Amino acid sequence: MRFLKQVLSVILMGVLASVPAFAQSLYVTETVLPNGLKVLLKEEHKAPVVTFQIWYKVGSRNERLGKTGMSHVLEHMMFKGTKKYGPKQFSRIVMRNGGNDNAFTSRNYTAYFQNFAADRIELSLKLESDRMRNLLLDPTEFLSERDVVKEERRMRYDDDPVSSMVEQATAAAFLAHPYQWPVIGWMADLDNLTRNDLAQHYQTYYTPNNATIVVVGDFATKKLLPKIKKYFGRIPRGRDVPPVGAVEPKQRGERRLVVKREAELPVVFAGYKTPDLKHPDSYALAVLEGILSSGKSSRLYRSLVYKKQIALYAGGDYDRITHDPSLFTVYAGVMPGKTPGEVEKALYAEIDVLKSRPVTDEELQKVKNQAEAGFIMAQDSVFYQAMLLGQYETVASWKLLERYVDGIRSVTKGDIQRVAKTYFAEENRTVGVLIPLPKKQ
């Protein structure tokens, strides 16, 4: 994200996956324009606001070593002007109209949004259709913005011991797949990026046939759709984007990575390779995530934090809304006086129980109730609804979102035990440990 959060997507996905959504029809109108642009419209009239989002199917997954971080730097440059609206104008125009705007980049997508009072929606169409084609990519602006991104990297990763450990452990988990590098890019790669790299990236991926528009809020579909066609319909279809192709080979043994640096408390992190949301096992894995990690009644908190008091925090995180298979992680912060070794053992003990004993009826029902409540509560925010639609559509199909609650409902105790045995194996695991070094005097 260019201002608030360029969230490590592992963390972002986990948050969203744990607040699941919609059961039956979402009342979304889907339209595909002749140039390939997909448009998803959902009317929501409970507040006089609207969110406009455009999702490009490009992220760090579409990069290569030596040039990592390109998608995210390009996201920043998207605010640096077109022929029609010069540098600095985009956000100023939006704000002048009472809107908030921002963008975020992940491994699988780059998305831009504006939130407005409902009557301002046409402004988004004007501005976003313009910058899909006419970005300036001014060379001076590029150099200055690259410095901004380097500051962002220093703040989020280089000066944050936990993030830098997770960044390195993730790199160790993937040998052959682009999920190995961070969305923000390696520092040396940022220095290596040129204005022409970005221009090429922009030409290749910022096309109508590689994008999805999502609008949720207080509008009339019948009136809005023709306007979207008017602004975006005239943009010519681009070439098909080059396939990524990379496939991570099966892991055949535990990998361990240790980061030693100045820090206060040790942290243990273990990631297991798991399938993404297109796989039928993803529902059982999502339930399992709830059992391990959703709320203070969940197993990791109760065991490691509440009962044994060996961890300051503990949780699990299933990264399922991804294009290619990613990780199911469990993690814990080590209490002073305790060791990473005993915390790591306690994490695995909880995982072993899942394999050897069925979960209780009450636990299973709890996770299903949480999924159903989440479906209703998610509708309180137009932004969040649009975000889920955009994510699902970008990595698979928004229609999977309509099946989510039913998928969760159908999970049995046997399913949970089976997926625990299938995926939570030692040889399928990458472990990261942060070992604090004392302060330099």
Partner 1 sequence: MNRIRYLLMFLFLAVFLLPAGTHAGQPLGKRIVLDNGMVLLLAEKHDLPMVTVDMAIKAGGTLEPGDKPGLASFTAALLKEGTKRRDGEQISGEIDFIGGALSVSGGLDYASASLRVLAKDLRTGLDLLSDVLMNPVFRKKDINRTVKEMLAEIKRQQEEPGTVADEAFTKAVFGSHPYGRTNEDVAAYLKRIKRRHIVDFHWAQYGPDNTIITVVGDVTEKGITTLLNEYFKGWSRKPGPLPAVAAAPKQSKTELFSIDKTITQANIVLGHRGISRQNPDYYTVVVMNFILGGGGFSSRLMDNIRDNRGLAYSVHSYFSARKEPGAFVVEMQTKNESANEAIAEIMKEMRRMRTAPVSTAELADAKSYIMGSFPLRMDTYAKIAGILTFVEMYGLGLEYPQKYLQAISAVTKKDVLRAAQTYLHPGHLAIVVVADQKKAKLKL
Please, which of residues 283-312 interact with partner 1 by CB under 8 A?
A: 294-298, 302, 305-306, 309, 312
Q: Is the CB of 180 or the CB of 298 nearer to partner 1? A: 298
Contact pick of 27, 48, 239, 247 for partner 1 (by CB under 8 A): 48
Q: Hey, which residues between 90 and 129 contact partner 1 (CB under 8 A)?
A: 91-92, 95-100, 115-120
Contact pick of 222, 223, 250, 440 for partner 1 (by CB under 8 A): 440
How far apart CA 173 and CA 155 sit, in angstroms, is 24
How far apart CA 119 and CA 35 sit, in angstroms, is 27
Short-list 71, 69, 93, 72, CA closest to 81: 93
CB of 230 to partner 1, least distance (A): 21
How far apart CA 108 and CA 181 sit, in angstroms, is 12
Q: Hey, which residues between 384 and 423 contact partner 1 (CB under 8 A)?
A: none
Place of tokens 């889907």: 30
- By CB under 8 A, is residue 365 in contact with partner 1? yes
Place of tokens 């080059």: 242
How far apart CA 142 and CA 145 sit, in angstroms, is 5
Structure tokens at 398: 């928004």
Q: Is the CB of 76 or the CB of 323 nearer to partner 1? A: 76
Short-list 200, 184, 204, CA closest to 73: 184
Q: Is the CB of 173 or the CB of 405 nearer to partner 1? A: 405
Q: Is the CB of 92 or the CB of 239 nearer to partner 1? A: 92
CB of 151 to partner 1, least distance (A): 4
Structure tokens at 410: 């159908």
Q: Hey, which residues between 243 and 272 contact partner 1 (CB under 8 A)?
A: 262-265
Which DSSP string corresponds to 332-392? EEEPTT--HHHHHHHHHHHHHHHHHSPPPHHHHHHHHHHHHHHHHHGGG-HHHHHHHHHHH
Q: Hey, which residues between 53 and 72 contact partner 1 (CB under 8 A)?
A: none
Looking at the annotation, which residues are catalytic?
Answer: 75
Backbone angles phi, psi at 173, to 5 degrees: -70, -30
The region of 88-96, 188-196, 273-281, 321-329 touching partner 1 under the rule CB under 8 A is 88-96
Strands 38-43 and 211-217: parallel
CB of 240 to partner 1, least distance (A): 35
Q: Is the CB of 6 or the CB of 180 nearer to partner 1? A: 6
Q: Is the CB of 201 or the CB of 366 nearer to partner 1? A: 366
Q: Is the CB of 379 or the CB of 422 nearer to partner 1? A: 379
CB of 369 to partner 1, least distance (A): 5
How far apart CA 352 and CA 330 sit, in angstroms, is 13
How far apart CA 49 and CA 99 sit, in angstroms, is 10
- By CB under 8 A, is residue 143 in contact with partner 1? yes
Go through 151-161 and write b for each residue having 16 or more CB atoms within 10 A of its CB, e for each that does not: ebbeebbeeeb
- By CB under 8 A, is residue 15 in contact with partner 1? no
Contact pick of 21, 149, 211, 420 for partner 1 (by CB under 8 A): 149
Contact pick of 30, 43, 122, 160 for partner 1 (by CB under 8 A): 160
Half-sphere exposure of 396 (CA within 13 A, CB side): 19
CB of 312 to partner 1, least distance (A): 5
